[in-house]
Amino acid sequence: MNATDNPWQTLQSAVTYENPWLSIRHEDVITPAGTPGIYGVVSFKNKAVGVIPIDADGNTYLVGQYRYPLNEYSWEIPEGGCPLGTDPLESARRELREETGLEAREWTKIARIHTSNSATDEEGFLYIAEDLVQGDHEPEETEDLKIWKLPLAEAVDMAMNSRITDALSVSGLLMVARLRGI
């Protein structure tokens, strides 16, 4: 068997829960060991996009909000959903503007990632946004956001010290640190 061949066999699949943002499937499977098993898969109805905005002085912008599933406050890069079939860059532009009021003249795609590939098929895209222009932010009604402008190196330290724990944010900040030699 080739290393990229799928060793799993799906016997049955049924959506057991669905809302406007995600669905959960229960699947009866034959495992790679040849034994019967079950699997639960969370499928999101959006792709994830994250943006590391960097201004001319080497600062970035984090967005703080209370995350209901975690029951804790979280500092993150500007991020959000990209409806399936939509250009991730256009969604990243929208999320940056909505959450921070920033618009960028220069965009660089730095990664495609999977956020938790043992339980979800969620795909994420990360961008660096530069040559920034400040406008008004337009958060969604479910968002109570705080915006924090800080040196990029400080945000990277927060990711390294688990003060930022969001997967998109940690991935993006550490990639930028590597790319920029921070």
- pTM of the shown model: 0.90
- Model confidence pLDDT, tens digit, residues 15-68: 999 999 999 999 999 999 999 999 999 999 999 999 999 999 999 999 999 999
- Domain chopping of the chain, boundaries: 9-44, 46-180
Structure confidence by residue, pLDDT tens digits, 144-180:
789 999 999 999 999 999 999 999 999 999 999 999 9
Rounded to the nearest integer, the mean pLDDT of the chain is 94
Edge-to-edge, what's the strand order for the sheet holding 22-30? 9-18, 22-30, 36-44
- 3-class SS shares of the chain: helix, strand, coil, % to 5: 20, 50, 30
In the three-class reduction of DSSP (H, G, I as helix; E, B as strand; rest coil), residue 72 is classed as: strand
For residue 95, what is the DSSP state?
Answer: H
The CATH number of domain 46-180, selected from 3.90.79.10, 1.10.287.3610, 3.40.50.300, 3.40.50.970: 3.90.79.10
Burial of 73 (0-12, 13-18, 19+ CB in 10 A): exposed
Tens digits of residue pLDDT in 95-134: 999 999 999 999 999 999 999 999 999 999 999 999 999 9
Alpha carbon distance 22, 175 (integer Å): 28
pLDDT of residue 142: 64
